[in-house]
Structure 1
């Protein structure tokens, strides 16, 4: 545990690491931010709120990057109106992005939201709420251990 503390540090560097990892995890890169969040909360439970806030902001901005990629692709690619995911997203709209945190399909939802030109601010809001809820529940669970 001491080696992990030295590696992550207890200062602002650990929050920057959380931001970068959370951002990258919300893109199409196959990494997860949860292990780092768990480690940081276990190392410094007094900073739980800051860790969750930084992870949420980074993950939401990563999701919005995926949204922007989808929006850009909409100009170049043919419409995907007939796909099951598009029909589902059209039915529920931006609130479906509460599930943008999901490990399977969450990133695709963000890209598809941009592709379908859903409102960017509504998409960002629903992404933020879903990601905040996920990180908060996980961090609270770790803090109870």
Structure 2
């Protein structure tokens, strides 16, 4: 596995982080931890994971912005309850709720709702990037602190 991570680790991290930001039931944190334990550069790991996850969220935002109900139901397979949860969360906290786009269950639908409600691209990007960067930085920090013990 070490050789695989050295040869394909960052490509795999980017792809997994991208897919994890869609409604596919995937997580990329385990690969971040594995790469950090394997002594990969922490800054590079966090930046690659953040970039992949942001671009995945951006694809969901785009679907919300341009795709409407058909793509939401057929491509993302979002049911009405998941959509309602994201909309309630969004109504409660407004566009600042996009800071929480890294959360399981409601994070990805929040990006979709951001698109449906036509949140500006720059505002969307700043909020989502901040939340995702903070999450991966926290995972890296906890991993490195735990490895130092």
TM range (shorter): 0.7 to 0.9
> Structure 2-normalised TM-score?
0.82
Aligned to 2:42: 48
Q: Which of the numbers 4, 7, 12 marks the counterpart of 1:7?
A: 4
Aligned residues: 135
After TM superposition, which residue ranges in structure 1, 4 or more long, deviate above 2 angstroms?
73-77, 83-88, 90-94
> Structure 1-normalised TM-score?
0.84
What is the root-mean-square deviation in Å for CA atoms of aligned residues? 2.0
Contact 2:62/2:115 (<8 A) preserved: yes
Alignment partners' CA distance in 2, 1:25 and 1:76: 21
Aligned to 1:130: 131
Listed as ranges, the gaps of 5+ residues in structure 2 are 72-79
Q: Which of the numbers 33, 56, 61 marks the counterpart of 2:28?
A: 33
Aligned to 2:74: none
Q: Which of the numbers 51, 55, 66 marks the counterpart of 1:61?
A: 55
Q: Per-residue displacement from partner, 1:82-121 (whole Å, max 9, x unpaired)?
A: x564354245332211100001210010011101111121
Contact 1:25/1:33 (<8 A) preserved: yes
Q: Per-residue displacement from partner, 1:11-50 (whole Å, max 9, x unpaired)?
A: 5x311111111001001111101111110011015x0001
Listed as ranges, the gaps of 5+ residues in structure 1 are none
